[in-house]
Structure 1
Amino acid sequence: MSENSKINQFNSKLIDLLQKGVEFFKANYLNKLKTNKTEKINLNLPGDIGTVHIYSHLDTDGICAAVIMAKALMKENIGFQITILKQLDDQYFIDIEYTAKVLKHFIIFTDFGSGQLNIIQKYLEGIPHIILDHHEPLKEGLDNTFSKEKLNYIGFHANCFLAGVNGSNEISGAGMAYLFVKLLNSSNIELAYLAIIGAIGDLQNSWQQQTFLGENLKILKDAIQINSIKVESEPNISRSKSLAYAIAYTLPFQIEGLKQDIQSVYKFLDSIGISHKNDFGEERTLADLSLPEKTKLINNLVRKILESPESNITQINEIIAKTYLIEDFKEYKEIYDGKDLSKMINACGRLEKHSIIISALVTNNPKYIDECIKIMHFYSDQLKNSINWLENNKKLIELNNLYYFYGENVISENIIGVVCSNLIFDSSINSLKPIIGYADADENNYKISARCSSELIRKGVNLSEAIRNVSAILKLELKGGGHAPASGAKIPKNLIKSFIDLLDKEIEKQKK
């Protein structure tokens, strides 16, 4: 297959948009850098064009996007720096403005920027930069500080929504970065696996049996083509947890007689002839099972589902899922599965261990990877403790159209969104109501995180639009962004009650 035919499989409008972005990068940085180096070498003077500075979000998708850009720049012998941020707002833009204007760095935003065009206008007017994002762009009129007419926009805004591609489920921020660098140099197809990890981190493999749609599916084909990802169909449980624990606690739904009861799971496994321990007496995992054993497990889990009067076809369909095995991490049992690797990256991002996770992904150095795995375990314990605190202290409050909770001094702003995501899958919670969590961001503001089920999305709920509309009603300068199923913002503490009440009414309006 020719290089043109490989890229032509993608959405043509999106490729045209990103190709213009590549040309912008060449004209405003690469070509100037080459000219500047030549002139300075001839005059024996230091160059006066800075490096590329990548700013990205702290979640899995943002970190994967930044690493994709970094590895592509390394291949072109271009210097770079990476800064990982919680979100783009005024407190960070003072440094960004200095970096661009004084240090002459070329700024690239990945996995955010489209929802912060008002702030970019304020600080980077007239300064060349690139935004590679998949979040819904800020709409003129919803925030009176943003005006397309006033914007002296000599940056390049590459957002999938501008090409008719849905960034909520068809492509991630890492996917946008991947297509950009693939157009820059076709050999960057080797980075496709990172785009898939980013998409997994944003829960975009949420279709039947955890498959992908749209551009994500095409990126996956790139990764499979060069053998960087292997796809298998397996029981829909954790690959890295002990087999008994995985069946009891990590199925997407609970099976009567097995749910949260490891002793009952042991008896179940014994009854179907699958040993839960290996020859050394160690607990086995799903990864340890042979193909016949996996088939036997699936068949008997389906049988258990059918024994329940509450069984349904959806549960039977969900018992099998696609597993995306990342070949670069084959030697690491705990993160060979893309879902587990995604969790490790997210843990490091949320706990502000940015340097070590970037080093691990850029170099594949075992020392860094082992340290990141330890961080993942610590983070997992934090999440469990947070959810137990919510449940034990009945902190989750139910309104007509949503649930909400305040993290107090237990749940920090760095993990509030992940706690909300975990609660969405709690079978005791009404899936037709979103989860809203808020935590202290600073002395005057709360960090808001909102999550909802795919079922609610099908009924017309869009959390990103809801939060923007409520922010407009309260005359707030929007400091956040997101997608239909997951969004966030910063809200003044004195307006939190009004915000929650208005959001409850906004969700009611959106439901079909």
Structure 2
Amino acid sequence: MAADAPVPELATTAAACAERLLDADRVLLASHIDADGLTSAGVASTALERASLPFETVFEKQLDAESIAGIAEHGYDTVLFTDFGSGQLDIIAEHEAAGDFTPVIADHHQPADAETEYHLNPLLEGIDGASEMSGAGAAYVLARALAAESDAHDNRDLAALAVVGAVGDMQAKSGALHGANAAIVADGVEAGVLEETKDLAVYGKQTRPLPKLLEYASDVRIPGITNDERGAVSFLSDLDVACREDGNWKRWVDLTDDERQSVASALVQHAVKRGVPAFKIDRLVGTTYILREEAVGTELRDASEFSTLLNATARYERADVGLAVCLGDRGEALERARELLRNHRRNLSEGIEWVEQRGVEQEDNLQWFDAGDEIRETIVGIIAGMSMGADGVSRNRPIIAFARKNDEETKVSGRGTGSLVSEGLDLSVVMKEASQKAGGDGGGHDVAAGATIPAGTEETFIEHADRIVGEQLE
């Protein structure tokens, strides 16, 4: 088993977790609701079904004492937690000690100070859970172990969903997946479900018409093209490439390899002429992960677009739709997901515009805004991240966003950049410590994290967060 394991360091723990699940009469699968959580649930539920294990799936937006108590009330002897559970291990351990259920955890977040026997987490073996393995990756390692222990389908095909989860969890550092994630990619390539290629590193290559593809490509801002519809159209019209067909703009996937090379080269030349720094121009090309069994020209063909589609279902309390898409529903569920994505994009656009109009508050070491009821608490973090680099919003310091969760609670979201993380920023620590000072709790990853605090304690949170960020970046 260990020699054939996708991540050998986790093989022994994964086998023990798989054996515990196979000993259960039935399993309650509890998962997070973002793209990584949905793909984790997709991987785990497929593996459980193939192993002929009866199970039920529940989703939680946030795992806390109340939601864990609710999970216990389902009356299952065995509960499989995916993409969360490690950070709440102290609460889970209390339920285990009380005999409520036996937990099996497949997660990648920072563990709380407690122990349980069946705990699959890359951090426990020295593997970075923020950049080398996602929750879906942990679920995939468990799925492979389940297959090995039960002589079921080998589950290598589930590597495609695991990669979607990793990409959705922003683990593609410097344009590619690394570490244990790369081993999972290799599994998917070998299984014939994934293709790994070097390509233009912009979002929407499968679905967006070429002018919109370039206009909205904001990771590397190119003067005269980024956020400039006329400029993008003019740039494409001047190329010796057939960018239209029957009067309609082609998509990136409609171009031949030579045509793509011509457009990419011209884009680089344009960026150089407009003074874009070389290190930013290098980011125009990255690794693209293609799901070979999905239809060309759909959101599901590209891991980045697939993860965005899933995020749109999660942010609007339709995790059931996202899971159905993960499990292969290409009819009603996919259409509903696309509808939610259109609504999601509209809300993001309006949210970014709101931030640009209102501006952000600047502290010594961070910047922040309080959206109140103006921005949905499930998307305020995405808007915060997308706002970095916009007018009046710096990319050189982390951004904190508040949004009203209910009358008693405020949602806090923090976003940083890869360069800030390399300088010492760890927003998971910032969120956890500052929220606890304000009477709440939080956590997450170094580059993106969240918290919930009592309404009215925002100033206390900012005071402590600013101090902690300053200490980290000194």
TM interval, short-chain normalised = over 0.9
CA shift for structure 1 position 374: 1.8
Q: What do residues 290-318 of structure 1 show as CA deviations (whole Å, max 9, x unaligned)?
A: 1111111111111112213x332212311
CA shift for structure 1 position 115: 1.2
CA shift for structure 1 position 219: 0.2
Match of 1:115 among 64, 80, 87: 87
Alignment match, 1:375: 340
Q: Which letter does structure 1 place at the counterpart of 2:294?
A: F
CA shift for structure 1 position 155: 5.1
CA shift for structure 1 position 182: 0.2
Q: Which letter does structure 2 place at the counterpart of 1:440?
A: R
CA 1:268–1:62 in structure 2 vs 1: closer, same or farther (change >3 Å)? same
Q: Take 2:389 and 2:12, find their aligned partners in 1: how far apart are those partners?
A: 38
CA shift for structure 1 position 331: 4.7
Any idea what SS the aligned residue of 1:65 has?
helix
CA shift for structure 1 position 403: 1.4
Is 1:497 the counterpart of 2:472? The answer is no
Q: What do residues 341-370 of structure 1 show as CA deviations (whole Å, max 9, x unaligned)?
A: 110011001111122221222133323212
CA 1:331–1:293 in structure 2 vs 1: closer, same or farther (change >3 Å)? closer
Alignment match, 2:287: 322
Is 1:81 the counterpart of 2:43? The answer is no
Match of 1:282 among 248, 253, 256: 248
CA 1:158–1:334 in structure 2 vs 1: closer, same or farther (change >3 Å)? closer
Q: Take 2:272 and 2:162, find their aligned partners in 1: how far apart are those partners?
A: 38
Q: Take 2:298 and 2:333, find their aligned partners in 1: how far apart are those partners?
A: 16
C-alpha RMSD of the superposition: 1.9
Alignment match, 1:128: 102
Q: Take 1:119 and 1:425, find their aligned partners in 2: how far apart are those partners?
A: 39
Is 1:236 the counterpart of 2:201? The answer is yes
CA shift for structure 1 position 236: 2.2
Is 1:440 the counterpart of 2:404? The answer is yes
Alignment match, 1:451: 415
Q: Take 1:18 and 1:108, find their aligned partners in 2: how far apart are those partners?
A: 13
CA shift for structure 1 position 64: 0.4
Alignment match, 2:262: 296
Q: Take 1:344 and 1:328, find their aligned partners in 2: how far apart are those partners?
A: 17
Is 1:507 the counterpart of 2:469? The answer is yes
Alignment match, 2:12: 16
415-424 vs 348-357, which deviates more? 415-424
Q: Normalized against structure 1, the TM-score is what?
A: 0.86
Q: How many residues align?
A: 465
Alignment match, 1:249: 216
Bigger Rg, which one: 1
Q: What do residues 161-218 of structure 1 show as CA deviations (whole Å, max 9, x unaligned)?
A: 11100001000000000001101105111101010000000111122xx111100000
Q: Which letter does structure 2 place at the counterpart of 1:252?
A: D
Q: Which letter does structure 2 place at the counterpart of 1:454?
A: G
Q: Take 1:188 and 1:363, find their aligned partners in 2: how far apart are those partners?
A: 15
Q: What do residues 455-481 of structure 1 show as CA deviations (whole Å, max 9, x unaligned)?
A: 11011111111222224545x463x32
User: For residues 111-510 of structure 1, what are the structure 2 equivalents within 5 Å?
Assistant: 111-125=83-97, 126=99, 127-138=101-112, 140=113, 148=114, 156-186=118-148, 187-207=154-174, 210-237=175-202, 238-239=204-205, 240-279=207-246, 281-308=247-274, 310-331=275-296, 333-394=298-359, 396-424=360-388, 426=390, 429-474=393-438, 476=439, 478=441, 480-510=442-472
CA shift for structure 1 position 450: 0.8
Q: What do residues 99-120 of structure 1 show as CA deviations (whole Å, max 9, x unaligned)?
A: 1xxx234211111111112332
Contact 2:21 2:27 in 1 (8 A): no
Q: Normalized against structure 2, the TM-score is what?
A: 0.93
Q: Which letter does structure 1 place at the counterpart of 2:462?
A: I
Question: What are structure 2's unaligned runs of at least 5 residues?
Answer: 149-153
Q: Take 1:312 and 1:502, find their aligned partners in 2: how far apart are those partners?
A: 35
Q: Take 1:391 and 1:487, find their aligned partners in 2: how far apart are those partners?
A: 22
CA shift for structure 1 position 122: 4.2
